[in-house]
A and B are shown apart, each in its own frame.
Chain A
Amino acid sequence: MVLAAMLALLLPAGAALAAKPIVLGCPLSTAFLYGWDAERAINLAVEEINAAGGVKVGGEMRPLKVEVIDTRDLEPGVPVSEALMGVEKLILEKHANFIVGGPVRSEAALAAMALLSKHKMVSILTTGALTPKYHAMVGKKPEKFKYLFRISGEAKWMVLGELVPCLSDIGKQFKLDKLFIMVQDVSHARTGGKILKKVMSKKGWKVLADPVVYPTGTTDFSMGLLEAKKKGAQVIIIWMDMPESAILLKQWYDMKVPALPFGTIIAAAEQPGFWKATDGKGEYCLANVVNAGNAPSNATPWTMKFVKAYQKKYGMEPEGYGTSSSYMAVYVLKDAIERAGTINSDKVAAALKKTDLMGVYGRIRFDPKTNQIIPSLDPKEGAVGTVFQWQAGKRVVVFPPKIATGKILLPPWMKQGK
């Protein structure tokens, strides 16, 4: 009797595990933050889903299986073709049913679009690639690219929807209006830097120079910082996904540059281990982690549940901007497959378009024309971002106001403007 009851309890999970798994192919640059954080988050979501019985496809419960290939696309000097080969291998050799994750570098993600549509492969981009070109291309050729979705933020919204309002708030609060921009020599950063210069100039800020562009792997930022100091910069925008951005912040601290560092994208400062790694020299640095849930906040009831689950499994808080979106992508895909009742690409893509669920970083819906997640500053309306500031060893969320847990502080060697 007891055995029968135990068997009955175990049946759903057992049945799911016996069924043919749904393979999630994950092309990720695993040696870099935006690759390994996505891999960890995908694995966490898959474990949770499988533990709860799997994905209901028609009348059958099927488990999820993760296949990761290191695309190396974030490494300097690695050609885009490497990432494309990785994606093709996932489709042809690993028999992936869906692609979740990357390619991570914008250039590689754009190049993979044609390949994915040739194979009618539903793909949810979750990390890295911020270029607005991605969803613009989907919007331009909706039939060809109908299988391609992006569940994380993109550069245009990040600048216009988050960075500009956040900078305006900083400007008003501390009477600051002099901006200096330092970007990495990659597509999304160069584009973002140019847009930001144009927009902030129109908003009345003095943008002190064209964005200073640094090649991937730069280890000395002194000349740029000296220029910023000489020109009287009050806020330094940093847009870099390379780990060497930590050097920039150390130099900023050592040179006591009287300007607030704001990492629109700053891989090094996003990680919880950044504080220890820099001996606290990165204090006061602001960092955008693209989606809520990548730093602790109460954006939705699911946010802290996710943060705690990640912390329990990996011994640290979610690390970078690809974490919560990669986790969410698996749940969104599960939801779409269950609604479609099949894993057929056309039907799942159609179901994904109708997604509407409250996730880790707010309401998750895709723009019907471009398949880009709909962003918002209010988690009840759409996907919210997160800007945090390092304060006394903690990542304190300071923007958007609806989910903020603290206020922005200036470094002690910096004076408020007049």
Chain B
Amino acid sequence: MDILIYGVINSATLALMALGFTLVYGVSRLPNFAHGALYVLAGYICWLLLNRLGLPYILAIALALALVAVVGGAMYQLILVRIRGMSISEIIASYAIGLAILEGLRWGGLKGGTFTLPSFLDGSVDIAGVSVDFQRILVVVLGALLVGLLYFFVNHTRLGLALKGMAQDERAALTLGIDSDRMAVASMALGSLSAAVAALILLPLGSIVVEAGYHVLIMAVAVCIVGGLGSWTGAILAAFVIGFAQILTTAYLGAHFQVVVAILAIILTLILRPSGLFGKQKELEERV
């Protein structure tokens, strides 16, 4: 039972970490390697607003979410737009921005384990004899809610449908008057917002540390590669595959083997099914 419960929690955690990354790639084919940095940035901004300015928690959360979404949009508008379509340059540029954010935060004093955010709910509950704290239950609930909201947004709003159109066929979308660059800005802002939401739900479980940025990026990339780049369904399924594999590894092989699960999943996917579980990169399949 503990494997089932903590497997679901771990999978929801991974899904939350990866949603923003897969959203941006799915819509604008932009691999946002600053995703992890935006995650840490959101946590740090919220911490600053809460502890330095003394704002109420809910206001600090709202402002942190908005600011990170703006940062994400600005990243595209000011830097990434110039190298649009050049995949390697996009990876290098976005990774460099991420590196600058993370190491800048470290240089600015984000060190040690004392930067933390309060839990939304304290305490724990026994589920079938397994003790689970409320914040972890919230991770699952809010994770599912976020997926639902994003699904609704993409399928039932004007902007969401435009984004979906871009993802399906950019040229056809252009002929219908959808502005490709504006959509890319919107997807980057939305992806950054998702990273920030994940951060503000997950960081109260631990501390805001620079290393989390690198960890989140690796996990997001692993989930997206296994699930198939740009596929939402694939990302959620992959989060569950990797999430449960990690918990099973911890339970039966030892916690220190957990670290290889994500890397192994990437390697196996690239060998056996390079476009991932739900990927549509036929050229990759054909090349292999």
Contacts and interface: CB of A to CB of B under 8 A. Distances in A.
Interface of A: 31-33, 36, 75-76, 185, 212-215, 217-220, 222-224, 226, 229, 243-247, 250-251, 254-257, 267-268, 271, 273-274, 276-279
B10 A243 contact: no
Interface string B100-114: 000000100001111
B284 interface: no
Interface in B158-181: none
A247 B207 contact: yes
Interface stretch (B128-136, B187-195, B265-273): B128-136
A126 B205 CA distance: 33
Contacts of A268: 112-113, 207
Nearest to A267: B113
A141 to B, nearest CB: 32
Contacts of A76: 211
A360 B258 CA distance: 42
Nearest to A185: B256
Contact of A243 (B106, B112, B118, B258): B112
A255 B212 contact: no
- Among B9, B112, B254, B259, the one with the most A-chain Cβ atoms within 10 Å of its Cβ is B112
Contact-residue bracket for chain B: 35 or more
A320 B122 CA distance: 28
Contact of A229 (B123, B131, B207): B131
B212 A219 contact: yes
A245 B136 CA distance: 18
Contact of A212 (B119, B135, B254, B259): B254
23 contacts: A31-B210, A32-B111, A33-B111, A36-B111, A212-B254, A212-B255, A213-B256, A215-B256, A219-B212, A220-B13, A223-B247, A223-B255, A226-B6, A243-B113, A245-B113, A254-B122, A255-B132, A271-B114, A274-B114, A277-B116, A278-B116, A279-B118, A279-B119
Interface in B79-115: 106, 111-115
Contacts of B215: 217, 219
B255 A215 contact: yes
A213 B256 CA distance: 5
A254 B133 contact: yes
Interface of B: 2, 6, 9-10, 13, 106, 111-116, 118-119, 122-124, 130-136, 205-207, 209-212, 215, 247, 250-251, 254-256, 258-259
Given A75-B211, A247-B206, A250-B205, A213 B113 contact: no
Given A273-B114, A274-B114, A219 B205 contact: yes
A247 B258 CA distance: 17
A271 B116 CA distance: 14
Contacts of A271: 112-114
A32 B112 contact: yes
A256 B123 CA distance: 9
Given A33-B112, A226-B2, A243 B209 contact: yes
A32 B2 CA distance: 34
Nearest to B260: A215
A251 B133 CA distance: 8
A281 to B, nearest CB: 9
Nearest to B202: A219
A76 B214 CA distance: 10
Contacts of A245: 113
Query: What are the 8 tightest A-B residue pairs by CB atom distance, in nearest-first order?
Result: A243-B113, A254-B133, A273-B114, A247-B206, A268-B113, A213-B256, A277-B114, A215-B259
Given A32-B112, A226-B131, A246-B113, A213 B254 contact: yes
- Among B9, B111, B118, the one with the most A-chain Cβ atoms within 10 Å of its Cβ is B111
Contact of A254 (B111, B112, B123): B123
A75 to B, nearest CB: 7
Nearest to A269: B113
A185 B256 CA distance: 7
